[in-house]
Every structure is written in structure tokens, then in C-alpha cells.
Structure 1
Amino acid sequence: MGPVQWGDVPSWVAAIFAGGAAWFAYQTIKSQRQQIAEQQRFIAEQSTNLALERSELCAAAEDRKWAQARQIHMHHRQAGTINDSEGNVIGPDCWIVTVQNSSGSPVHRVDVRFGVAYLASEAYEIPPSAVHGPNPGEPRARPVHLLGAGRAVRFLSQRWSAATVHNNRPCLIFTDDNGVRWEVDSYGKLEEAPEAGST
């Protein structure tokens, strides 16, 4: 056997160390990729959970926002038509609108609009037991600035011809206890009212 080729031994040792370093670097990168993938999955799950929680909170807040407004009720009817002995209409007609606050909090700036141009001509605070009855109640200025919990108020339109009354249906407008302005049309549709002056 001849002498060892030392020049080759350092090359082999360097190659072994380089291979070990490459294997260690590969394992490190593989481990980091797994950690990153796990972190990305965790972040995605947390984002999904947060989005669900946010949507549930928004839905609950929206329900709370509408809760009081849904408890303000408007009852309306036409009245006052006078007929002659032959059944012909000879007198004016008007809307009678009763607003009842069935919520546990007051509402503010309560008023009734008829069609797009007319406001109520009279307002009366009435006992809740008279919501559907003839009790005229106590006169109030309109808009009614405060309608307490469990209270009721009645609005009257001007007296018009039957056709004008028919074409100018009532719309209730009020502000809830949180400052949100609402309107309820004669068919019971509730929606947020645009602020005065907005288009």
C-alpha cells in the first residue's frame, strides 16, 4: 500500500461537511416552511373566526338599532265624510293617525306627513286605551317633542276631498332614543329616514 493522498482527504472532509451543511440547511428550510404553513393556517382560522364574530356583532348591533323602532306603531283611518240623504259625498274628509310607543324608551320629534307636501294640522295626546277609540285627548304642539314609553298620540290631517285624502297617505316620522331618524309608511314599511337637507 502506498502513501495516503492527503490532498484528497481534505477534499473529502470538505465534501462531507458541505453535504452535512446542505442537509442541515434543507432540514431547517423544511421545518421553517412547515412552521410558516402552520402559522398561515392558524392566521386563516383566526381571520375566519374574527370575521364570523364581527358579522355576529354587526347583526346584533343592527337588531338593537331596529328594536325600538319596530315597537312604534301607527294606526290610520279616513274619517269625516258627510253624505247627503241620497248617499252623495258632500263633506270633506281627513286622516286620523294614532301613534303608539310600545317600547320601553321614549321617542322624539314625532310627526306625521301626508303625501310629500302636507304635515299634520293637529296633534293630541291620548290614553293608550283610546288608541282605537274616539277619545280626542289633550292638544299638543307638533311635532310632538317627546312621546314616552307606553304613551300614544293622535294626529289629524287637514280636511280635503276624498280624492286628495286617498292620494296623500300618512307617513310617520320619529327619532328613536339613540338619535336615529325613522319613517313608517301607511303600509307599515319601516326604514331609516334621510336627515333633513340630505338628498
Structure 2
Amino acid sequence: MGPADFGDVPTWIGGAGALAAGWFAYQTIRSQRQQIGEQQVFIVEQTRFMDEQRQNLELERNELRAQAEERRISQARLIQMSFHTSGSSGGDGAGGLIGYIAWQVEVENTSDDPIHDVTVRFGDAYTAATATEREGFHHPDGGRRSVPVALIPAGHTVLFESPEWPEATVDNNRPALMFTDDGGRRWRRDSYGKLEEAPADWAS
């Protein structure tokens, strides 16, 4: 048995070159896969970061909107309305006198700024017949004001009175306060306390 034939030098060189090329290709593919993996991790992290940023921005926007809404309505909430009826009670109209009743409505500005163009409506068709600033004895005119009242300063109260109606129908003409805040927004508060922003051209 003769010596083993391991081939000639060119064959060895060719084999070594092929092995080196294969190893290089493997390392290249491995490196590329590693880079792709790192890029995927980076993309996931960036996506998570962007989602967190979007959520934070949305929270900030919501907070700014809430603050703006609070500023918008803060003065209107401080305008108070209280009311009661006054007048004489009579009979049922069949054989006795008919009672005539009027609403008396106090509008108090407890905010730090004036309110404007203030009136009280009764039902769908009636406005206040008179308006008098409380503690009117301090005023030469007794505190009487024209309706609508052009301005109620901070800390002041005005008494509005309705026309007189028969007792049986007065409850159908419940009061609703209407005013413009110091920022120019028009508001309406009904007799149940509901406050809502009204169009600027809402009838006075």
C-alpha cells in the first residue's frame, strides 16, 4: 500500500480559498443578521418612544383644553341667581278675586370682574319689568336700572321683577338669567341652575 494522495498544491490552495470564502460569507450573513436584529430592536424602541411621546402630547393637549375650558366658564359659574314669587293670593276666579303674582329675581355678581347686558326672561315671551340695584338707598335714583342692565360690577346685586300674572299661570313663566361675561361670551342660566353658553345674538 502506497502513501495517501492528498492532492497537489493548487487543489489545496483552491480548497482553502473556497473555505475562506465560505467562512467570509457566513460571517457577513451573521453580521447582517445581527445588524438587522439590532435595527429591529431600535425600531421597536423608537416606536415605543414615539407612542409614549404621542400619549404625553395628548395628555398635555387635554390638560390645556381643560384649563382653557375652566378659564372660559370660571366667571359665569360665579354669577348667582336666586328667586321667589311675591304678590297677593286670591280666589279661583269663579267667585272671588284672582291673585296676581310676580317673580323677584336677585342676580349677584360674586366674580372679580363685571358682567354686561344682563336681563332676566320669564317663559318664552317676557322680560323683566324693572331692575333695581340692591342697597339702592346709596344711589340718588334709588338704584333703579333700565332693562337690560348694561353692567353689574363685581360684588354687586341687582333685583329684577317680572310683570304680574294670575297666580295660576305664573309657574309657566319661570325665570332665566342672561348675561355677557367680561370676555364677551353670552351665557344663560335657567331656573334649575343649568348654565350654558348662548349665541352672541341671543335675544336679550
TM-score range, shorter chain: 0.7 to 0.9
CA contact (8 A) 2:98 2:166 kept: no
Corresponding residue of 2:3: none
Structure 1 residues 169-180: aligned runs within 5 Å:
169-180=174-185
Percent of residue pairs bearing the same amino acid type: 47
Corresponding residue of 2:119: 111
- The number of equivalent residue pairs is 189
Pair 1:55–1:175, CA change in 2 (3 A): same
Structure 1 residues 3-152: aligned runs within 5 Å:
3-4=8-9, 5=11, 6-81=13-88, 83=90, 89-127=97-135, 137-152=142-157
Deviation at 1:82, TM superposition (A): 5.1
> Which TM-score applies when normalising by structure 2?
0.82
Corresponding residue of 1:187: 192
Q: For 2:66 and 2:77, how far apart are their aligned partners in 1?
A: 16
Deviation at 1:171, TM superposition (A): 0.2
Deviation at 1:39, TM superposition (A): 0.9
Moved more, 114-123 or 12-21: 12-21
3-state SS in 2 of match to 1:171: strand
Runs (5+) with no aligned partner, structure 1: 130-135
Q: CA-to-partner distance for each residue in 1:96-152, whole Å, 9 max, x for gaps? A: 1110000111111111110111111222222399xxxxxx94221221121110011
Q: CA-to-partner distance for each residue in 1:149-171, whole Å, 9 max, x for gaps? A: 00111111111111221110000
> Which TM-score applies when normalising by structure 1?
0.84
Q: For 2:66 and 2:108, how far apart are their aligned partners in 1?
A: 27
Q: Which has the larger radius of gyration?
A: 2
Coordinate RMSD, CA, aligned? 2.4
Corresponding residue of 1:168: 173
Corresponding residue of 1:132: none
